[in-house]
Structure 1
Amino acid sequence: MKTKSLWLFLCVFVCALFIPFQQTQAATDGYLQKVKDQGTLVVGTSADYPPYEFTVKQNGETKYVGLDMEIAQKFADNLGVKLVVKNMNFDSLLVALETHKVDMVISGMNPTPERQQSVDFSKVYYSGDQYMLINKKDLARFKTIKSFKNKTIGAQTGSLQYTLVKQQMKNNEIKGLAKLNDLVIALQSGKVNAVAMEEPTARAFAENNSGLVAINPKFKVDAGQTGAAIAFPKGATSLVNAANKTITQIKQQNLINKKYIPQAGKYMAGNTKSNSILNYWTYFAKGIEYTLIITVVSVFFGFALGVLFALMRLSRNKLFHWLAVAYIEFVRGTPLMVQVMFVYFGIGAVIQSLPALVAGIIAVSLNSTAYVAEVIRSGIESIPAGQTEAARSLGMSQKLTYRYVIIPQALKNIWPALGNEFITLIKESSIVSIIGVTDLIYQMQLVQSATYKGVVPIFIAMVIYFVMTFSLSKVLGYFEGRMKHA
């Protein structure tokens, strides 16, 4: 008996020591203190999901509003810090969280078991049913999941709705896109027969578009999958606990139903009244500005590095030649989108202060380098070997030969191809919108979200891109003509 009592005493003693240690460890994980020290709470969201999060125009500036933004602001106020919102694609949010680009994610996100393996979640702050958005003309045809048999269903990639459609509508084709606005456009144009989304969001789109209607198809949803919660990095217990205190406060005061949802409704109603595209010309102007900044800087560094790698590939030094070949082939063999995400989320995980704009410029510049290097190499190799031999026989060094004989002639030969690369760069720079760079495509998506119009902003963006590329082609053509007469 004494032995058993001794063992019981030891177990209780160890537990008594271990539990406070666990609590202290959780309280001092550093995440909460880091937010307070930096004075900002950086929040990741996908602002195309009314009434959870969407955009409005106030005094010519973009403002992120909605239920989730009100909760995020309340949380930031309770911590005594400034709220900073980063808008990006929904399926990039958890990557941004895991690479510490944001402190938390609030975007109508469901705390599914799969997500809980990678990140920690707060308590559920709001629950809504899973609905379908359909064209009003199809209301008599579609009532339940079974009535959609052999139809095409749209859902946001990475969302609970995408999983539900995949699991419970196996006789259907599923079309996944990153932006709900694009899915609604697909619905209106007949590319999909319905779009799965949460009830508040479906009702929001239906109320602001007379041709759409929201229905409840009766998805079967597990209790652990429903509801929206805030996502935090794995192990950020101090932030989770602080967020839970804010959520408890919000629920006790019933702020969601009394204040946040009605406020979101007012913003949406205001958007509907003033959703003329002309009211958003400043968005497109800002998009043009950032697109040109990315293009100009990327052209400069892409050309400079392209010359370097072209000379390295032509070098007799085997190491330089091998490095140039390896770099050029690797870059040309991988998509630009993947490169942009790697620079921002991969390298950015090491250099956490790396801004999205800088990451975008670096990725686009490095991508352009590979193509420019090949264009320049082909131009240099097109010059007859006799030109080099003649220059060297006159006593010119290899450096002077390249500078005054080879490069000028090669540049004249490759100018059309080089110009085409620069024009392509304007269009390809649009890919940086996936990491939240406010280029033309990013601004176009904001206008879509704010006006509930899908096709018109796309058409305007197309015209703007055409004007920019056509203008550049004329400038390049002018210099090409000057070279021919030189």
Structure 2
Amino acid sequence: MKIKNIGIIFVIVTILLLIPFTKVNAASDGYLQKVKDKGTLVVGTSADYPPYEFTVKQSGKTEYVGLDIEIAKQFAKDLGVKLEIKNMNFDSLLVALETHKVDAVISGMNPTPERQKSVDFSNIYYRGKQYMLIEKKDKSLYKNIHSFKNKTIGAQTGSLQYDLVKNQMKNNQVKGLAKLNDLVIALQSGKVNAVAMEEATAKAFAKNNSSLEVINPNFNVDSSQTGSAIAFPKGAKSLVKVADKTIKKIQQKDLINKEYIPLAGKYMTNNSKQNSMWNYWSYFAKGIEYTLIITVVSVFFGFLLGVLLALLRLSKGKFQRAIAITYIEFIRGTPLMVQVMFVYFGIGALVQSLPALLAGIIAVSLNSAAYVAEVIRSGIESIPKGQTEAARSLGMSQTITYRYVIIPQALKNIWPALGNEFITLIKESSIVSIIGVGDLMYQMQLVQSATYKGVFPIFITMVIYFVMTFGLSKILGYFEGRMKHA
């Protein structure tokens, strides 16, 4: 027993002595090697934040530009890989990072203590003050945060500015939105009295809109929370190490002030010169294409799955009915937005190669199927039982009875309701823009970011949606008329 105890003690002491010398190699976490193996660095950003990241139109194509994009390019170059930009809502970026949809986030993000609990950050690459964007006519009214008593302040959800307003302006109501463009629209329409944002971004909006003004409200900001850094998945020390080297090289050459910001300013000036909506017709055309693809494919698969669910719910088997009822009630009881995010970020975490477009189609199809199933079920139940009995008495099987007798009559009865579901699907498909699918809503936001115009792109988008839905309703009405005369 003594020899055995001595052996155990020896092993424990040896392990304790080796601990100080067993430092984890930064490259052993696998993140760096994974990026190099696939040859692509996927960077998540929210391209509505000039001069950090925004969009321009070059040769008819959307290009991502700004100081953050230049940093991303240099980082990818230092890694020896290609750069791929994924544009999505700011408050979805960390979710995308944690589910490995992106390798890094470069989006003017502040490395707050709360964020550091779930992700790793590089060193700070740029520091800017926290400003307020206000209407120029209100310049004499607002001087600091105390001037805004009982006013409504807008801020981007999930941002440092949102927390600053919430914690330091307790006598104010904070209105959080995902997109800065929407916040600026809210400011111009009187929905908010000011918008809190980073200094460079506030000045960018004011420079390109003569009705806006910037002020320094003198927020009390902890120096540890200021500045922008690159975010990485927790434990990705190998990527952080390379990023810090890239940032050090950029800062030594002062590239941000000498090259990146001036270049972003040129892009912004060019955008202001050619901010006619006609110059961005290709954006809307691309949005229509993606919207129709999502709608048509989702209608097809949603209808097939809906028929199956309707038949299961009408079957005599308790287990089949339970499956159908559970699915239908669950889907109808949860928002489509949540379903889209779950498919992309949840299931997508297991299938990391799942594209955003495919995830959007899957989510919309599954959602539509639940509603289509109820429409079809009601149509089938509206057919008198005598029809089924007559068909069966003629020797028809249940399958043939449904195919040639019940379904055709039910389809004629439910066609208006089914058509309404298809029309609704065109509009509801806009929700996929939250995961970066380039549908019409997504393209509208790009146009807003590029032109600094908020309301007019919305109006154009409304007209386009109306044309698509009105056209579809006419087509469905034509077939409905044909059915009545059949």
TM range (shorter): over 0.9
After TM superposition, list the pairs within 5 Å mapping 1:373-384 onto structure 2.
Answer: 373-384=373-384
**Alpha-carbon RMSD:** 1.3
After TM superposition, list the pairs within 5 Å mapping 1:64-463 onto structure 2.
Answer: 64-463=64-463
Report the alpha carbon displacement of residue 16 of structure 1 after superposing the two structures with TM: 7.6
Q: Per-residue CA shift, 1:145-164, capped at 9, x if unaligned? A: 00000000000000000000
Report the alpha carbon displacement of residue 15 of structure 1 after superposing the two structures with TM: 7.9
Q: TM-score, normalised by structure 1?
A: 0.97
Equivalenced residues, count: 476
Taking the aligned partners of 2:328 and 2:292, their CA distance within structure 1 comes to 25
Q: Per-residue CA shift, 1:345-393, capped at 9, x if unaligned? A: 0000000000000000000000000000000000000000011001111
After TM superposition, list the pairs within 5 Å mapping 1:4-23 onto structure 2.
Answer: 17-23=18-24
Report the alpha carbon displacement of residue 19 of structure 1 after superposing the two structures with TM: 4.4
Per the alignment, in what secondary structure is the counterpart of residue 226 of structure 2?
A: coil
Q: Which runs of 4+ in 1 moved over 6 A?
A: 10-16
Report the alpha carbon displacement of residue 275 of structure 1 after superposing the two structures with TM: 1.0
Report the alpha carbon displacement of residue 18 of structure 1 after superposing the two structures with TM: 3.2
Per the alignment, in what secondary structure is the counterpart of residue 271 of structure 1?
A: helix
Taking the aligned partners of 1:15 and 1:451, their CA distance within structure 2 comes to 62
Report the alpha carbon displacement of residue 23 of structure 1 after superposing the two structures with TM: 3.5
Taking the aligned partners of 2:378 and 2:23, their CA distance within structure 1 comes to 64
Taking the aligned partners of 1:399 and 1:474, their CA distance within structure 2 comes to 33
Taking the aligned partners of 1:39 and 1:274, their CA distance within structure 2 comes to 36
Specify whether residues 258 and 14 from structure 1 end up closer, same or farther in structure 2 by C-alpha distance, changes over 3 A only: farther
Report the alpha carbon displacement of residue 17 of structure 1 after superposing the two structures with TM: 4.0
Whether contact under 8 Å (2:27, 2:237) holds in the other structure is yes
Taking the aligned partners of 2:294 and 2:300, their CA distance within structure 1 comes to 10
Q: Per-residue CA shift, 1:40-93, capped at 9, x if unaligned? A: 000000000000000000000000000100000000001110000000000000
Taking the aligned partners of 1:463 and 1:53, their CA distance within structure 2 comes to 28
Which stretch of the first structure deviates more once superposed, 269-278 or 344-353? 269-278
Whether contact under 8 Å (2:128, 2:199) holds in the other structure is yes
Taking the aligned partners of 2:62 and 2:14, their CA distance within structure 1 comes to 57
Taking the aligned partners of 1:382 and 1:15, their CA distance within structure 2 comes to 77
Taking the aligned partners of 1:379 and 1:137, their CA distance within structure 2 comes to 59
Aligned partner of 2:23: which letter?
Q
Which stretch of the first structure deviates more once superposed, 433-442 or 10-19? 10-19
Taking the aligned partners of 1:12 and 1:59, their CA distance within structure 2 comes to 68
Report the alpha carbon displacement of residue 20 of structure 1 after superposing the two structures with TM: 4.6
Aligned partner of 1:150: which letter?
N
Match of 1:4 in 2: none
Aligned partner of 1:94: which letter?
L
Taking the aligned partners of 2:151 and 2:417, their CA distance within structure 1 comes to 45
Whether contact under 8 Å (2:130, 2:161) holds in the other structure is yes
Q: Per-residue CA shift, 1:438-473, capped at 9, x if unaligned? A: 000000000000000000000000000000000000
Specify whether residues 309 and 14 from structure 1 end up closer, same or farther in structure 2 by C-alpha distance, changes over 3 A only: closer
Taking the aligned partners of 1:49 and 1:154, their CA distance within structure 2 comes to 15
Per the alignment, in what secondary structure is the counterpart of residue 126 of structure 1?
A: coil
Aligned partner of 1:447: which letter?
V
Q: Per-residue CA shift, 1:178-222, capped at 9, x if unaligned? A: 000000000011110000000000000000000001100000001
Aligned partner of 2:444: which letter?
M
Per the alignment, in what secondary structure is the counterpart of residue 301 of structure 2?
A: helix
Taking the aligned partners of 1:93 and 1:400, their CA distance within structure 2 comes to 51
Aligned partner of 1:142: which letter?
Y
Report the alpha carbon displacement of residue 27 of structure 1 after superposing the two structures with TM: 2.4
Match of 2:45 in 1: 45
Specify whether residues 122 and 11 from structure 1 end up closer, same or farther in structure 2 by C-alpha distance, changes over 3 A only: farther
Taking the aligned partners of 1:19 and 1:473, their CA distance within structure 2 comes to 72
Per the alignment, in what secondary structure is the counterpart of residue 63 of structure 1?
A: strand
For structure 1, which runs of at least 5 residues remain unmatched after alignment? Answer: 1-9
Q: Per-residue CA shift, 1:77-127, capped at 9, x if unaligned? A: 011100000000000000000000000001000000000000000000000
Aligned partner of 1:438: which letter?
G
Q: TM-score, normalised by structure 2?
A: 0.97
Taking the aligned partners of 2:459 and 2:13, their CA distance within structure 1 comes to 70
